[in-house]
Structure 1
């Protein structure tokens, strides 16, 4: 099993296995995730588990992010022959400070999708929730965004909501991660330790369907996702909803804006780029999405996955179009700091290889509190209460994982 993983991920092949030489399975890494773990990422190609922090990224005033990353790799390899792999999360706002570090130990295994994963229990006993903003206020803000579109060149803006969950006791963060993995084994399931002044464990945990970018050697892959429909428990209705989404003019328009922006950004870095003319459907446990897989071969010398990710981020899938107008609308209408939500989570090695998923379907969890996030892309054809329903469906991914329901 690990032979294929070694070919996909040669950086880890001979440096991070257990001392007895046996390679861990993806399930073993998931089960080993606990209070001492600093990073977890399950992708369609590999599973990673990080423990501890060997070196953490710091950034001098006005220092380019790429230069700070080079210093991190230098700090992480001092007095140690183990290849340095940077892991962590980047915030939505490109000017904000990222959470990037090199773990003391990083184990790799084959994908979680090869295994059957079952839930054992809920992650919180009982809880209360509070919406920010309320559904009614969010609907009004969507209408304000539509008014802005009529008055300006704004084509799309992504507006988000937050749901605060307060549990009766401490939330079992490892169980949240396992519950997410049980329904998202083919996506991007992640957990990242976050710095905290309280001394308590605080983490970003989620299950994203969206790959921003993967770069392996000269090959690059991007998978923009935009356009959403809630799923149904009835198979016939579920199929009807998927077909309606695939032929929805509103959702196709929203999706096209994202695909065009991603392709235009990548094209100068590539000697060829393949952009499918029409999207395909992908499904999570709770929603359908429109998806397009863009592939390219990079020019020589190839930019790193980190540099490409910074060039793309934030895409219209999480921000809007044009980007500057959309960011101003978000600051005006949302009413809270997104932090790491709609940022990036992933890894990058010193050779520039790496992969970065978009940080959606996620929560920040500390002690008995979890802040859940969900957003919807607003375009001229949007209807405010349909966008409310879309965000409610997206909240269900993390609510299910907290409550142990539907898993």
Structure 2
């Protein structure tokens, strides 16, 4: 019997997954580790330039993978990321060579404590502006059909000594064993005649969708509380989240939207009636695993991902009203943040994670992102604390021990 999407895969390769992690360098184009598989991509066979909403994207990718196979690339994959705004450009490419293995053995990752980072932090926007944005969202709930909107903010970190991307990736992999750890070479920056390396690194807790054969799984996550270092208080926080009407409502909006999007593409779909708790090193989340079977085997993992994206977990509900609010209330472009990152092979199998808990890294400059789902029961104070807690995934991995007041 073949393994399910939830089970680790043992691949016929002499290269252990942890060895792939140690082989990651700044010349590597792609690293992706899920609870089941690990990929390391080298070089660039071809790049696909297309908007994220391109209707023919799957066909273009199929043609690109066929060309790679004809050129002698064994088991080619397309890897990369699609943006939050589907009108923006996707970053998709076929590596010249891809090494793959099963799941990382997280307990055996050699991750020394990060060197303390002496970096300056600038909030984008300032906390007071973010508070005003949340207040405006609350006013819109009272006067429009808007039920939820996800509002984000960023931290710009200047690290004079530069960022060691390999050490950062290793920290993320070691401390996020149940997530999706990734590093993506973005290749070039628009408008510059000389292109410097620019990377996207992160450890997302959220699977947008995966496909293996006809099997499909989506794992929407919405509803969050910061964890406590005290075990008793930490457990109490998890149970409080599981009983929170506000968070259960926010979570249900996301699960309903995911089920509605997948239903026309699946001949079976199983949606649990209640969420479960999952945890990262810093946060509790409400989580629901949705399982299905595609009706048409030609429906690829990317087709499924495009049908889902953006879910209310990163955008809001109703979608177009939430998009409009985000455009008006967020004073920066999200780019790839809250898009999707992952891979797909020639058969259409693949995994796409939601691009959260991430940072853009460019030499001595880092931009971190965090967002929170705003619903009628939200308060500006709650959402500031939630986004501050979400920043900690990247800040901890970077060795930047910023006090809470620096994030609020």
Q: Distance in 2 between matches of 1:256 and 1:187?
A: 22
**Secondary structure, aligned partner of 1:145:** helix
> Deviation at 1:26?
1.4
Partner of 2:60: 68
Distance 2:234 2:291 in 1: 30
1:370 maps to what in 2? 366
Between 78-87 and 261-270, report the one with greater CA deviation.
78-87
TM-score by structure 2 length? Answer: 0.92
Alpha-carbon distance change, 4 to 273 in structure 1, aligned in 2, over 3 angstroms: closer
1:342 aligned to which of 338, 343, 361: 338
| Residue number in structure 2 paired with 1:20 | none
Structure 1: distance between partners of 2:373 and 2:262: 22
Question: Could you list the runs of 5+ residues in structure 1 that have no partner in the other structure?
Answer: 18-22
Matched residue pairs, number?
A: 394
* Aligned match for 2:29, one of 9, 28, 38: 38
- Alignment of structure 1 residues 315-330 onto 2, 5 Å: 315-330=311-326
The alpha-carbon deviation at position 390 of structure 1 amounts to 0.1
Task: Specify whether residues 277 and 94 from structure 1 end up closer, same or farther in structure 2 by C-alpha distance, changes over 3 A only.
Answer: same
Alpha-carbon deviations, 1:178-216, whole Å to 9, x = none? 011110122100000002244332100000000000100
Deviates more, 1:145-154 or 1:359-368: 145-154
Deviations 1:354-400 (A, max 9, x none): 01000000000000010000000001111111000000000000000
- 1:64: how far off? 2.6
Q: In the aligned structure 2, how far is the partner of 1:258 from the partner of 1:130?
A: 31
Give ranges in structure 2 of 5+ residues lacking alignment: 403-408
Instruction: Give, in whole Å, the separation in 1 of the partners of 2:325 and 2:247.
Output: 20
Q: How does 1:5-404 map to 2 (within 5 A)?
A: 23-59=14-50, 64-113=56-105, 115-122=107-114, 125-196=117-188, 197=192, 198-403=194-399
SS at match of 1:93: coil
CA contact (8 A) 1:123 1:401 kept: no
Change (3 A) 1:299 1:123: farther
CA distance in 1, matches of 2:159, 2:376: 39
Asked if the contact 2:184/2:200 (under 8 Å) is kept, the reply is: yes
Q: CA RMSD in A?
A: 2.2
TM-score calculated relative to the size of structure 1: 0.92
Q: Per-residue deviation at 1:124?
A: 6.5
Secondary structure of residue in 1 paired with 2:108: coil
Q: CA deviation at 1:35?
A: 1.6
